[in-house]
Amino acid sequence: MYRSKLGVARQMLVIATIFFASATVRAETVLSDWFDDVGETKWETGAAFAGLTTLGLASWEWGSSKSFRWNPEGFFGMDTGSGGADKLGHAFTSYLFTNIIADRLEHKGRSSERAGLSAAITTQLLMLYVECFDAYSVDHGFSWEDCVMNLGGSGLAVLRLLIPRMRDLVDYRMEYLPSGYKGFRPFSDYSGQKYLLALKLGGIDRFSDTPLRYFELHGGYYTRGFSREEKMDGLARHRYGFVGIGVNLGELLLGHRTAADSGLRNVGRMLFEHIQVPYTSIEGSEEF
């Protein structure tokens, strides 16, 4: 009996050793691939870095705190800073950057798996950079909830890359109309934002060659009244969920996606997959 147990233990040790050795080799390969891919996307990555830095200094009060601040913010509660709009913004930004970088890598000949993984790593490092400097803002601080939403946004982007069918069916978008309190600031004016998932009927086989392919179903979330300016005006806080029907502008203006799409068509398609153009949908909202 003792020898039998010893034999099983040895087999488990061998399996564990092989597993960790394989994982180490895989991690080294992923890291090597990522370094190469950063070089291929230096302009996209540099633009993202510059844009985030500009926003941080101009809108997020980076440097206003002299010490590193931890700040558990919660997610979608009424007692949070923006009712969760900022959390959906983190997810959206991570989703957007991951898609842009991965799209560039795919056009450079990378596989979808490699492009998605490298893009997600780059994006998460960019968003971690943001979070670390938020820690030196009196208005923010380092939030683990933000990190969770960052991972969720990149995760959704990678899923859509690995499952092409999903990309034909689902988009995660932001709609923005200035609230009148912050000028034109689409990434920090939370009271002008709406976030939604769009189910594109053109991605369903039975509708793909019918007029219904130009339509889509929406479900989303937005908040109003959480900003300092709105509070000073005496406005109450509100959180809304909504459903609606919209026009699929990508399908209407650019048609079905094909491998022969030009660079300009690809840019246009990426735009409509991420931005919900105002006044192109009908929706009903419910406060909660």
- Which range has the worst mean pLDDT, 123-127, 173-177, 226-230? 226-230
The pLDDT, as a whole number, for residue 77 is 93
Distance CA 209, CA 206 (A): 7
Residue that wins the pLDDT comparison between 221 and 262: 221
pLDDT tens per residue, range 179-205: 988 888 888 899 999 999 999 999 999
pLDDT at 258 over 80: no
Residue 264: its H or E element:
helix 263-274
The residue whose two tokens read 């943001």 is 130
Cα angle 193, 214, 111 (rounded to 5 degrees) comes to 75
Q: SS3 of 172, please?
A: strand
Distance CA 189, CA 87 (A): 13
pLDDT at 224 over 90: yes
Beta-carbon count within 10 A of 157 CB: 27
- Give the max Cα distance, the chain: 78
The whole-number average pLDDT for the span 89-105 is 96
The pLDDT, as a whole number, for residue 40 is 93
Q: SS3 of 157, please?
A: helix
Token pair belonging to 83: 């009712």
Distance CA 223, CA 191 (A): 6
Please report, in angstroms and rounded to a whole number, the separation of the first and last CA atoms in the chain. Answer: 63
Distance CA 174, CA 101 (A): 19
- Res. 31 pLDDT band, cuts 50 70 90: confident
Distance CA 258, CA 35 (A): 30
> What is the strand order of the sheet 281-287 is part of?
170-176, 193-200, 215-224, 238-247, 281-287
